[in-house]
């Protein structure tokens, strides 16, 4: 009888102890994996993206902005940090390509500015040529001079 009683108490204690540990969630002070992930991702991005000057940062805003006037953002059609073709040419190695261009100016900044406000004036050479009328030709009508200069700075930052 006594032995049974002791066994019962023992079992009861065990069960209660087990329940106790299960039902009380320990307050955890360890950092959760969730918040550390965005930090890692932005660190990786920071390695790929060069440090941008203030004017280039302003250019990035213009580059990524959707303008109702044309129905597109530059970024819809151009990769900034790659040569891969989207709807338009990737803009990474524009400096190297420009050396072979048959254009009047030998000033790269001037060329980039021209190709934004008057994209029909020159056809970028490509294995399968870009259709001439894809890039909107009205940016010069609604972007300010500062916007345009900022765009050029942003494109040249890569």
Instruction: Return the number of the residue (11 or 120) whose C-beta is nearest ligand HEC.
Output: 120
- CA 22 remoteness from chain centre: 44
Residues of this chain that interact with ligand HEC (CB under 6 A) are 72, 74, 76-78, 87-89, 91, 94, 97, 112, 115-116, 119, 123-124, 130, 132, 134-136, 139, 151, 155
Are 124 and 111 in contact, with CB atoms under 8 Å apart?
A: no
Instruction: Return the number of the residue (34 or 96) whose C-beta is nearest ligand HEC.
Output: 96
Smallest gap from Cβ 103 to ligand HEC, in A, equals: 9
Are 136 and 117 in contact, with CB atoms under 8 Å apart?
A: no
Are 150 and 55 in contact, with CB atoms under 8 Å apart?
A: yes
- CA 98 remoteness from chain centre: 25
CA distance 147 to 158: 18
Smallest gap from Cβ 71 to ligand HEC, in A, equals: 8
Instruction: Return the number of the residue (58 or 94) whose C-beta is nearest ligand HEC.
Output: 94
Smallest gap from Cβ 54 to ligand HEC, in A, equals: 18
């Amino acid at each position: 009888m006594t032995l049974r009683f002791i066994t019962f108490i023992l079992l009861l204690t065990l069960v209660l102890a087990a329940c106790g540990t299960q039902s009380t969630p320990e307050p955890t002070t360890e950092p959760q994996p969730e918040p550390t992930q965005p930090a890692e991702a932005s660190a990786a991005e920071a390695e790929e993206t060069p440090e941008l000057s203030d004017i280039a940062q302003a250019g990035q805003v213009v580059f990524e902005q959707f303008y109702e006037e044309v129905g597109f953002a530059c970024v819809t059609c151009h990769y900034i940090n790659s040569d891969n073709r989207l709807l338009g040419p990737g803009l990474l190695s524009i400096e190297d390509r420009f050396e072979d261009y048959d254009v009047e100016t030998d000033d790269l900044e001037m060329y980039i500015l021209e190709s934004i406000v008057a994209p029909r004036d020159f056809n970028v050479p490509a294995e399968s040529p870009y259709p001439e009328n894809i890039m909107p030709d009205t940016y010069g009508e609604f972007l300010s001079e500062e916007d345009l200069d900022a765009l050029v700075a942003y494109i040249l930052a890569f």
